[in-house]
Chain A
């Protein structure tokens, strides 16, 4: 009865050969194609570096003015704008200015990429049920697979540095914007779509003048989630050489520097709160028409 007690498996030797085979061929493939793939991502790398350098080179008062301006434009709240400026000043005062600029440039670029890639995918999903049923499981996979598992092949292909970090952040952060774009468009009132059809709208006209505007609050909730998830990835991304607020946290974990970890951790939290509140307020203002409020 031995065969009942032990689950029938492939056998140690076969299994080892299988793993070795796959590892070997992937390594070979990445060696021969790694350069080409790296070259493909070069523009991204240059843009990232350029933005980071720009942010660091810009005099800090100008950055503060821009931060206050953006926060106010997004939220229409003086309190939030003031709070953002104070947070930035505190973070800078405690010596984390450069790291913060690096993190902000990473978050901005990854959010832009997620929006540029995610919204069109979401639109396609909302239009074709087949696309939806093909992409949904991929999104499920992206959201549940342990991050280190896909970090590994990315590092094997591209080495360590900003670009693989950026890709890892994007893989982790893109699902919400895709899902919420799809959902938002599908939730648009059927009767309004029928009216648009009855007046002879083309698909394009319906998409841009009815579906997307009405889905905007949801799409924006997706953008907000994407920013939050990108921020959450900052520490993990630092493991593969991404500079920023995550790096000191990692050092702190490895060397038991309690204060260093706490300071940088709190800086990340402050950034997260600012991004979240400003983008949420902005999203709420997008649906002002639903409550019969005056528009600006």
Chain B
């Protein structure tokens, strides 16, 4: 487990002119609906606790209105919390002065937006260099750096175009390059790929994952798309009505959904592709072929079926045997036992 980069503790956000005065009642269990009906204040975030590890991709997932965009805006204080604490590298964000905050935003974080939010009157090159320009970076250095990032997102030759001349996918590449150009260790991505059509979205995910292999940034990625979350997230936190209802790695969330809401959420995913053999691994070892621990069920089933004993051993990325997996377990994992039981409860 890597070091915690960003720590969010007991974070509350109540929207409305007198948000602070309701904080105690909310802490004592007043519900979102009650607060809205009786006091016309909106509970945006409710007791958020999250440790975000360094150099990993933390996905925050939820449907619209769940508070995910509110949460990400607390990290660079585009929104001020009502109560709670946020620390980055053991530095308290909330006690920063305006000047310190500006410096923090310039050097430590950068952000990619759902609707791109490019500067329409500036060229691609000027947009990418924006973060550097406002830091007072020399023009030649800013130009050189932005050129490098434009190249790395595959937009060479478009430097002198204006955003309106580019397609949505290309605009978001500019957004990504602009965020990467400042070399900030924390990258905040607010539904960055949600406005793009599916093929382009997959493209962008690939670009991000490819870049992340070299960059090792701490990425906080907001999405409402489960496939996207499972694909790129090292960790996922699921948000509902401003509360985190489950956090863990993708395997944990699929194998052990915390409640009906989440099992309902994951019911349509392709389990054969998403579940990895390490999630259904048993103790012991087997004579059969070796499977990589991150091998998907789909691939594992083929191998298992060809084995005489219908079982394989599982090895970690260094080739060491760490357990075994049986065909029965693999088939069993394809079905959602728990979810179907929950269905009964639903009615």
Let me know if B105 and A292 touch, CB within 8 A. Answer: no
**Nearest residue in B to A286 (C-beta to C-beta)?**
B121
Kindly identify which residue among A200, A201, A202, A214 contacts B120, using a CB–CB cutoff of 8 Å.
A214
Q: Which of B96-124 contact A (CB under 8 A)?
A: 102-107, 109-111, 113, 115, 117-121
Complex Cα gap A256–B158 (Å): 66
Q: Tell yes or no: A213 within 8 A of B by CB.
A: yes
Complex Cα gap A131–B131 (Å): 31
Complex Cα gap A196–B106 (Å): 10
Q: Which of B55-70 contact A (CB under 8 A)?
A: none
- Highest count of chain B CB atoms <10 Å: which of A195, A214, A289: A195
Let me know if B105 and A197 touch, CB within 8 A. Answer: yes
Complex interface bits, A179-223 against B, C-beta within 8 A gives 1, otherwise 0: 000000000010110111111111001000110011000000000
Let me know if A200 and B164 touch, CB within 8 A. Answer: no
**Contact-residue size bin, chain A (C-beta under 8 Å from the other chain):** 20 to 34
Residues of B within 8 A of A201 (CB): 102, 134
Residues of B within 8 A of A213 (CB): 121
B residues contacting the other copy or chain, number (CB 8 A): 30
**Nearest residue in A to B98 (C-beta to C-beta)?**
A202
Residues of B within 8 A of A191 (CB): 113, 115, 117
Complex Cα gap A196–B109 (Å): 13
Q: Tell yes or no: B156 within 8 A of A by CB.
A: no
Residues of B within 8 A of A210 (CB): 119
Residues of A within 8 A of B118 (CB): 192, 195
Let me know if A289 and B117 touch, CB within 8 A. Answer: no
Complex Cα gap A213–B130 (Å): 15
**Nearest residue in A to B101 (C-beta to C-beta)?**
A200
Q: Tell yes or no: A290 within 8 A of B by CB.
A: yes
Q: Tell yes or no: B135 within 8 A of A by CB.
A: yes
Let me know if B105 and A198 touch, CB within 8 A. Answer: yes
Complex Cα gap A270–B78 (Å): 52
Q: Tell yes or no: A291 within 8 A of B by CB.
A: yes
Kindly identify which residue among B131, B134, B162, B188 contacts A295, using a CB–CB cutoff of 8 Å.
B162
Let me know if B117 and A192 touch, CB within 8 A. Answer: yes
Residues of A within 8 A of B178 (CB): 199
From residue A19, how far is it (CB to closest CB) to chain B in Å?
A: 47
Kindly identify which residue among B105, B115, B121, B162 contacts A199, using a CB–CB cutoff of 8 Å.
B105
- Highest count of chain B CB atoms <10 Å: which of A194, A200, A214, A289: A200
Let me know if B120 and A194 touch, CB within 8 A. Answer: no
Let me know if A200 and B103 touch, CB within 8 A. Answer: yes
Complex Cα gap A191–B191 (Å): 13
Residues of A within 8 A of B104 (CB): 200
Let me know if A289 and B182 touch, CB within 8 A. Answer: no
Let me know if A200 and B78 touch, CB within 8 A. Answer: no
Let me know if B117 and A290 touch, CB within 8 A. Answer: no
Q: Tell yes or no: B76 within 8 A of A by CB.
A: yes
Let me know if A290 and B120 touch, CB within 8 A. Answer: yes
Residues of B within 8 A of A202 (CB): 102, 134
Let me know if B182 and A199 touch, CB within 8 A. Answer: yes
From residue B170, how far is it (CB to closest CB) to chain A in Å?
A: 12
Given contact pairs A197-B78, A198-B105, A214-B120, enumerate 10 new A-B contacts (beta carbons under 8 Å): A191-B115, A191-B117, A194-B78, A194-B117, A196-B119, A198-B111, A213-B121, A214-B121, A289-B121, A295-B162
Interface residues of B (CB under 8 A from A): 76, 78, 102-107, 109-111, 113, 115, 117-121, 130-131, 133-135, 162-165, 178, 182, 188
Interface residues of A (CB under 8 A from B): 189, 191-192, 194-202, 205, 209-210, 213-214, 289-292, 295
